[in-house]
A and B are shown apart, each in its own frame.
Chain A
C-alpha cells in the first residue's frame, strides 16, 4: 500500500463519522426548516402542499406573532444593556480593585451559568411566587407593600420578571469573558495614567473600555443569539408564554405552532423569519459599533 493511499484512508476514516453525523442531524434539519416553510403541511391532514410564500403572508398579519416579536425585541434590548453594564462593572472591580475574596465572588457569580434552565425556571417561580415567594416576602419584612406584585401574573410586569431571570443567569458568564480580556491589559498603562492624575473613572473610560471594545462587540452578537434562545427555554418552562401571550417570544411561538399545533409549515416559516432577523440584527449591531482597533 502506498504512502499516499494510506494517508487518504486515514483522513477518510477520521473525518467521515463527524461529517456524516453533522450533516444528518444539523445541516439537513436546517435546510428542512427553510424548505418546509414553503409548504402547507400539518394539522390532521398530514398532506404536504406547496404554497410558496403564503405562510409568510399569513405571518405578516398574525397578531400573536407581532406580540411575540415585540416581547423578544424588548427582552433582547433590556437583557443586553443591563447584563453588559453589570458584567463590565463587576469584571472591572474584580480585576482592578484589591478586594478580599475576589476568587469567592468569581466562583459564586458563575454558578447560575451551570444550572439547567429548568432549574432556573423553578428557582424564579419560587422567587416570584405571590404569596410565599422570596421577593414579596422581602418587601413584607421591609413593610413596603406597595412594591409587592403578582410578578408572573400581571400582564404589564411579567416580561420584566422574565428579563430579570435572564440577566441573573447571564451576568457571571459575560463577566468571566470580560475579566479575561481585562487581565491582559498591561498594568503599566494604569500606572502611567494615575501618575498623570487620571481618576478611576477616567482610567476606565480611556483605557479599559477602548481596549476591551472588540470583546464587547463580539459579546453583543452573543447577547442577541443567546437571548432569543434562552428566553424561549425559560419562558417555556416558567410561564408557558402566559398570561395571555404576554411572555410569548419568537421561538416559543414557533415551537407552539410547529410542535404543539402540528402546523409544521407555518412554524418553520416563523423559524426562517427569526433566523434571518437575528443575523441581520447581529450584522447591524456589529456594523454600528465598529471602531478602530486599538493595539497594545
Chain B
C-alpha cells in the first residue's frame, strides 16, 4: 500500500516538473517566435487575431526598416564599432593580463587590485561623466579644428567599449594564465627567445580557448550595449540598439508595427545565430574530451 502511494507522488512530481519545464520554455520561445512572425506581417494583419499566422512573407517591413529607419547604416555602425572594440580589447588586454598574472614587480599587487576594483564600476553610472569629458575635449579642440572630434566618433566609442570591458576581460584571462606551469617560459628562455617572443609565440597561442570565450562574451556585450551609444553618439552614427530604441518610440506615437518588429529581428538575429553555433561547438567539445578520457 505504502509503496504504491510513493509511486503515485513520484508520478505526480514527474508530471509537475515536466509541466514547469515546458511552461518556462514556452514562455521564452513563444514571444521570440512571435517577433519573428510579426516581422513579416502586413500592417492590417495586426488588427485581426494576434494569433493568426502571417498571410504571406511581407518583406516590405525589412526594406522600410533598412531605408526609412536607417537600420541599414546603423547595422554597419554596429559592425564597425563591435569589431573595432574587440580588436582594441584583445590588443590591450592580452599582454596586460599575461604580465599581471605571471610577473612579480614593484606595484604588481597594487595594479592587480586596482584593475579588479573596476569590476564594481558600472557603465550606467559613468556614462554621463564620460560624455562631459568628451564634450570638454571637443570644445578644447574646436578652437583648433573648427569641429568636434570625440563625440559621435565610432572609433572613440569602440575604444570606450574596450576600456569598460577591460577589468572583466583581464580578470578572466589572468585566471587562465595563472594555471599554466612556468616550464614553457623557461624552455623558451633557454632557446633564446626574448620576452616579447615568448609571449607572442608561446603563451598567447595557449590561451586560445579563453580568448574564444572573451570574444564571445564581449561580442554580446558590445553588440547589445545601448546606454553609452545613446549618450555619446547623439548625431548620425547611431548603433543598432539605439536605432531600435527610436523605432520603439516611433511605434508608440504612430502605429506602424511592421518595421519595429523587423528592427527587433535585425538586432537579435546575429546573436541568436552565434548562440546556436556556439552551443553546437560546446557539445562537440565535450564529446571529444570524453573520447580522450
Which residues from chain A sit less than 8 Å from chain B, CB to CB?
Answer: 6-8, 10-11, 13-15, 17-19, 21-22, 24-30, 32-33, 36, 86, 89-90, 93, 97, 99, 103-105, 107-112, 114-119, 121-127, 132-134, 137, 141, 168, 171-172, 200, 225, 229, 232-233, 236-238, 251, 254-255, 258-259, 264, 267-268, 271, 274-275, 279
CA distance A168 to B25 in the complex (A): 11
7 pairs, CB–CB < 8 Å, chain A vs chain B: A10-B199, A21-B163, A26-B163, A89-B20, A108-B28, A126-B35, A141-B51
Interface-lining segment among B58-66, B140-148, B218-226: B218-226
Given contacts A26-B118, A30-B121, contact A267 B264 (CB under 8 A): no
Which of A10, A25, A90 contacts B195, CB < 8 Å? A10
Question: With A and B bound together, what is the CA distance between A119 and B189 in angstroms?
Answer: 51
In contact, A275 and B125 (Cβ under 8 angstroms): yes
Those 8 A-B pairs whose CB atoms lie nearest each other, nearest first: A18-B96, A116-B224, A14-B95, A29-B126, A29-B129, A25-B163, A10-B195, A32-B129
The listed residue (A15, A116, A132) touching B95 by CB distance below 8 A is A15
Instruction: Point out the residue from B21, B47, B99, B226 that lies within 8 Å of A14, measured CB to CB.
Output: B99
CB of A22 within 8 A of CB of B118, answer yes
CB pair A118 B267 closer than 8 Å: yes
Asked if B233 CB lies within 8 Å of chain A CBs, one says no
B177 within 8 A of A: no
Q: Does B128 contact A (CB under 8 A)?
A: yes
B99→A117 contact, CB < 8 A: no
Contact surface of B with A, Cβ cutoff 8 Å: 13-14, 17-18, 20-21, 24-25, 27-32, 34-35, 38, 46-47, 49-51, 91-93, 95-96, 98-100, 103, 105, 111, 114-115, 118, 120-122, 124-133, 159-160, 162-164, 166-167, 170, 194-196, 199, 220, 223-224, 226-227, 231, 241, 244-245, 248, 260-261, 263-264, 267-268, 271-272, 274-275, 279, 283
Chain B residues whose CB sits within 8 angstroms of the CB of A271 once the complex forms:
125
- How many whole Å from B99's CB to the nearest CB in chain A? 4
Grouping DSSP codes into helix (H, G, I), strand (E, B) and loop, the A interface class, with mixed when no group exceeds half, is helix
Tell me the bound Cα distance from A267 to B32 in angstroms.
36
Complex Cα spacing A87 to B183, Å: 42
A residues in contact with B275, CB < 8 Å: 110-111, 114
B46: chain A residues at CB < 8 Å are 132
13 other A-B residue contacts (CB within 8 Å) besides A21-B166, A22-B115, A90-B24: A6-B195, A26-B167, A28-B129, A30-B129, A111-B272, A112-B28, A115-B224, A115-B271, A122-B248, A124-B31, A126-B34, A137-B51, A237-B248
Which of B133, B196, B199, B248 has the most C-beta atoms of chain A within 10 angstroms of its own C-beta? B248
B27 and A21 contacting across the interface, CB-CB below 8 Å: no
Given contacts A25-B130, A126-B34, A264-B132, contact A134 B50 (CB under 8 A): yes
Residue from the list B14, B34, B105, B224 in contact with A11, Cβ < 8 A: B105
Interface of B is mostly: helix
What is the bound-complex CA distance between A172 and B32, given in angstroms?
Answer: 15
| Complex Cα spacing A90 to B166, Å | 33
Chain A residues with CB under 8 Å of B124's CB are 229, 232-233, 251, 255
Cα distance A111–B170 in the bound complex, in angstroms: 26
A132 CA to B49 CA, complexed, in Å: 8
Task: Give Cα distance in the complex from A90 to B215, angstroms.
Answer: 29
Q: Which residues of A contact B92 (CB under 8 A)?
A: 17-18, 21
Q: For residue A36, which residues in chain B have a CB less than 8 angstroms away from its CB?
A: 129
By a CB distance below 8 angstroms, the chain A residues around B220 are: 114
Q: Could you say which residues of chain B place their CB within 8 Å of the CB of A126?
A: 31, 34-35, 38, 261
Query: What residues on B are CB-neighbors of A112 within 8 Å?
Result: 28
Report yes or no: A15 in contact with B111, Cβ–Cβ below 8 A. Answer: yes
B31 touches A123 (CB 8 A): yes
Contact B231 A22 (CB under 8 A): no
A254 to chain B, nearest CB (A): 8
With A32-B129, A33-B126, A117-B224: A108-B25 Cβ-Cβ less than 8 Å: yes
Give the distance in Å from the alpha carbon of A104 to the alpha carbon of B29 in the complex. Answer: 12
Provide the residues of chain A in CB contact with B274, threshold 8 Å: 114
Residues of B within 8 A of A7 (CB): 103, 195
The answer to whether A122 touches B260, judged by C-beta atoms less than 8 angstroms apart, is yes
Alpha-carbon distance A134/B34, docked complex (angstroms): 9
A89–B92 CA distance with the chains assembled, in angstroms: 41
